[in-house]
A and B are shown apart, each in its own frame.
Chain A
Amino acid sequence: MIDAPKVDWLALSPTLALLAAAGVALLASVIGPAWFRRGFAAFVTFGGFVTAGVLAGFLFDRSPDAQPLLNESMTRDRWAALAAIVLAGAGALSVLVSWGETRRDHAGEYYALLAAAGAGMVFFVGASNLMTLFLGLEWFSLALYILCALDTHRATSLEAGLKYLIVGSFGSGILLFGSALVYGATGELGFAEIAAAGVTDDSLLLAGLAMIVAGLGFKASAAPFHMWTPDVYQGAPTSVTAFMSAATKVAALVLTLRVLTVAFPEQEHLWTVAVAVIAIVSLAVGNIAALVQRDVKRLLAYSSVSHAGFMLIAVAANSPLGGRALLYYLIPYSAMSIGSFAVVAARERELGAPVTLDNLGGFLWERPFLGASMWVFLLGLMGMPLTGGLVGKFYVFSAAYESGWWWLVVAGVIGTAISLYYYLRVLLAMWTRPEPTALRPVVAGGSPPRDPLLASAVFASFAVTIGSFFFVQPLIDLARDAADSLPF
């Protein structure tokens, strides 16, 4: 008889809650009556994310010391728990943003897939074994591939889904190949065991490490593995983009730091430099390419590439302060990212057309609440005072400086300076009223219906963006406790 491992159900509960939500929503959308599907699925998914968040909070509280789970294929620790809280928050906000999307078909499946992707991510951040890492990665990626292509009536959505699927499979393949090479070199799959195997300068291991870095960089949309990002972000339904931009980045970066510090401490001198270089390339590519964009979703996609660069600076620091900076920064970043895509979604729905800098004219005056919130999000992405973006950048830079990466700090500052240009262009576009002669009749006819759920998501993001500035200390303390569970 096979020995069944002891199962710590509490540790798995956030994943299970989301998985259950996905199952219930999916069943309801198959067997429930048509009018019932959308509302029920959305409600269940929202509830799933909230439950997962609460359970993860509970888990955070109850896991002061890291413990292995399920034959050491997973870890129960605060690092994963805090990431799960952020992921659950991002998921819940995405449900609110999605509600206003008037979808003709697959409404129930949409929410089921969202919950499934969330479950995969929460599972993924707890992985402590190359096999569970890959499993989690594929789990949430598959759900996202479908979500991107779900607007079947739009060619761009199908294109986005297909591109993401093919390039994503390529990325997963690289990651899998890298894992195989590492296994070949060490004979181990567990992160801690790989480090304990004592293989330091084996070519197979190093090639595998390089491929793992590349595969995770792909998910975090770091350059030069970013090229799918603008196409997919632009083509996918905007609410999906909102979710991906925040949650995928959280999951990928959190696990990147974990796998690199736990499994490859001996190769530190290699991967820190590699991550630093990838960070600089991401900052350069993301910021420069964003300068010429006119489509706001595409512009924000490049901004997301550049932010991957910022956060990789914290990874490259490879220090407790870096871990703290990364987890702290992900909180306001997720809020600003979801919030800004939510505002884009609102504008898109009222125009019935993609949002560009040209049709954003006077948005601040037409929709003062959404416009002002968008200002705050963009100012936060710039790193202006009174938003968490400032504190996040400050912590990232101080972590890098403390680890001796002064040239990364310089690169980050230059990147920030460049980014002002395109963020300010969006701010200016929203501020400037179009010439009266240029006013065209409203495409969709009349003003759009109010969407209180989207507004509440925007408000929550706004509150987190501002609140993370004023309540830095509690958040930093949480991030510090979480980062303590990694071996630096």
Chain B
Amino acid sequence: MTAGAWICLLAPLAGAWTITVMGDTISRRAAAWISTLSVFVAFGGALATFVGLLRRGEEERAALTTAWTWLSTGNFEVGLTLLVDPLAATMMLIVSGVGGLIVLYSVGYMDGDPEERRYFAYMSFFVFSMLLLVQAGNFLILLVGWGLVGLASYLLIGFWHERREAVAAAKKAFIMNAFGDATMALAFFVLIWQTGTLELAGAFEGAELMSSTALNLVALGLLGGAVAKSAQIPLHTWLPDAMEGPTPVSALIHAATMVTAGVYLIVRAHPLFELAPSIQDLAAGLGAVTLLVAGLVALVQTDIKRVIAYSTMSQIGYMFVGVGLGAYGSGMFHLLTHAFFKALLFMAAGLVIHHLAGEQDIRRMGGVRSVMPRTTVAFLVGSLALVGIPPLSGFFSKDSILAAALASGGYGQVLFAAGLVGALLTGVYTFRLFFVVFLGAPSPLVEQHAQGDGSGHGHGEGPWTMTVPVAVLTVLAVVGGWVQIAGVWHPFGDWLEVVAEPLVEPSVTQDYVASVLAVGLGLLGMGIAWLVYAARKRELPRTAAVRDVLEHKLYFDELYDAIFYRPAVWIAGIWRRWIEEPLIGGSISGVTLGARRAGGALGEAQSGYLRSYALAIAAAVAVLVVVFVAVQ
């Protein structure tokens, strides 16, 4: 069982390593297939681990395996330790399974790119980093994985490095994530200082003796990391920009896996959060705010991928609400189904983009259904799952979060209301996208590409490497939710219960109330979208101010620009004028000059004459002797 975990972890690393070392000696296609194979081998390892866990009794489903101990001083010990338990196994299956499909999809999507080898090496490296994160058996390894996924995300967002926007987006993502990494590292420092260990179990045990201030600091630091990685307000502005990366990257990193790491972190470290309930409530609150804001902003975006990106933020907001209220199973369940349907949406959108030779503006699309009927079905399934229409997967998972909110007292009911509004918004923005892109008369652009323009794009729906993963995910988006049906059976919740005991258990009535309301509002949202965008029976209210605010994404970028960037530049300018140039610059050139002079002087003392060497030694010995004798 632990062998499976190691294979799962190391196969993608081996893939990345092979592609890097082989370099030009293998063809670009071979690199693509090596990468795909490595991720599918990882999936095999994950499956083996999963089966191994299933065979064990419920209480024995956790195993630590240590490759070697890196440092041990006293009782502080860290090493390359993996933890295999139901939570880790679930994440391993999602990361390597969905990851494998997406890498396979990339084989078709990236075909012909001159730097394919680099792309696939990065992809394998990302999968390795993500697996390291979810399998980490202590907080140090978790932090390493956390940092490495940030690095992989940076490299892949900026993959098309000749595009200025891509490079800027990569930097933005890296800097905002680095902020989260820093708060997380600080939390770990507090944890070491207070409990003397980074072992998961030891830290959880030691945390019970910590003061509430220290606990709040630790939880806040972890939450900072989670919020940055999962693009929740206020550290969310990097995610829409990250859509500059290739579409499979958006599907893998910025929808299915990495951005949900924050949810995983909260579940993994739930004992710490439970000891700091106010911080856990804060997590749920941030999730609720994010799901509303992102849902609103998604209404007016015109870039197909950005709409889906805002939808991702909004769905992760639901997950934060779930895990913030202690409904860990529900949060993880939504993480699972979201991985299916959101990856599906991105990849179906990728098919459209691929077909249209890179066009992403929905205002130039329309009537795609006529040329890509199967993609249309896939996208429709993904959209319905996203809105939460039974019996598709999103219905079960979203409603279990909403039911948990309903069952969590006054604060929970506020969040429940937010979640319902979010469900309405989801219906509107999702089907706005669907109607605008797929229905209606084909736009000139679509017609132009319908026959193929000789560029290699635009023939049918795409090569099999792209359509097969989409088909598989379509099926998963339909059936993926059936592992947990409220009031009927709940194997998924039981499976995770040994890792994280949920704090709320909604009654079956609450479940059905939540379902009816959420589905009703979702359908209402779809209806509004239909009226406005498909039947065109209603005009949008002409409230330019609101529209403006939304189109500027609630002015978050402008706000950060005004709060952080401009003052920083202004202060930097002043410092440069009055401190840097005269003081630091002056002293630096003084120091370098001095150092060079000193170096030169030493060089001169180094005359090459033996007599001067002997003299120096004799003088030093004399000083030593005199001082020794005199001091005594």
Q: Which residues of A contact B (CB under 8 A)?
A: 163, 166-167, 170-171, 174, 201, 203, 206-207, 209-211, 213-214, 218, 224-225, 227-228, 230-231, 270, 274, 285, 288-292, 418, 470-473
Contacts and interface: CB of A to CB of B under 8 A. Distances in A.
Contact of B628 (A210, A285, A418): A210
B590 interface: no
A285 B629 contact: no
A167 B595 contact: no
Contacts of A225: 616-617, 620
A228 B621 contact: no
Contacts of A207: 625, 628-629
A289 B599 CA distance: 4
Given A292-B600, A472-B71, A473-B71, A206 B628 contact: yes
A283 to B, nearest CB: 13
A211 B621 contact: yes
B583 interface: no
17 contacts: A166-B610, A171-B617, A201-B632, A206-B632, A207-B629, A214-B620, A214-B621, A227-B616, A270-B628, A270-B632, A274-B628, A289-B599, A289-B603, A290-B599, A470-B68, A472-B71, A473-B79
Interface residues of B, number: 33
Q: What 7 A-B pairs are tightest by C-beta distance, nearest first?
A: A292-B599, A210-B624, A289-B602, A206-B628, A227-B613, A224-B620, A210-B625
Contact of B72 (A201, A270, A288, A473): A473
A174 B70 contact: no
Interface string B595-620: 11011101101101010111011111
A167 B613 contact: yes
Contacts of A289: 599, 602-603, 606
B211 interface: no
B545 interface: no
B628 A291 contact: no
A166 B72 CA distance: 47
Contacts of B70: 470, 472-473
Given A206-B628, A210-B628, A418 B595 contact: yes
Contact of A163 (B71, B610, B628): B610
Nearest to B617: A225
Contact of A174 (B72, B599, B606, B617): B617
B631 interface: yes
Given A218-B617, A231-B608, A291-B599, 13 more contacts: A167-B613, A167-B614, A201-B632, A214-B621, A227-B612, A231-B606, A270-B631, A274-B627, A274-B628, A288-B599, A289-B602, A289-B603, A292-B603
A224 B621 CA distance: 9
A271 B616 CA distance: 20
Given A288-B595, A291-B595, A203 B620 contact: no
B577 to A, nearest CB: 26
Contacts of B610: 163, 166-167
B25 interface: no
B625 A211 contact: yes
Interface string B292-304: 0000000000000
A228 B632 contact: no
A170 B618 CA distance: 9
A472 B616 CA distance: 39
Contacts of B617: 167, 170-171, 174, 214, 218, 224-225, 227
Nearest to B612: A227
Contact of B624 (A274, A288, A291, A471): A274
B351 to A, nearest CB: 40
B631 A288 contact: no
Nearest to A391: B71
A203 B598 contact: no
A376 B617 CA distance: 35
A338 to B, nearest CB: 24
Interface string B67-94: 0111110000001000000000000000
Nearest to B619: A224
A285 B612 CA distance: 16
A288 B598 contact: yes
A367 to B, nearest CB: 16
Nearest to B591: A418
Nearest to B73: A476
A471 B629 contact: no
Nearest to A418: B595
A206 B631 CA distance: 10
A167 B616 CA distance: 11
B390 to A, nearest CB: 52
B629 A214 contact: no
Contacts of A473: 68-72, 79
A371 B620 CA distance: 40
Contacts of A230: 606
B93 to A, nearest CB: 29
Nearest to B602: A289
B316 to A, nearest CB: 32
A232 B525 CA distance: 83
A225 B613 CA distance: 8
B624 A214 contact: yes
Nearest to B624: A210
Contacts of B628: 206-207, 209-210, 270, 274
Nearest to B614: A170
Contacts of A210: 621, 624-625, 627-628
B613 A203 contact: no
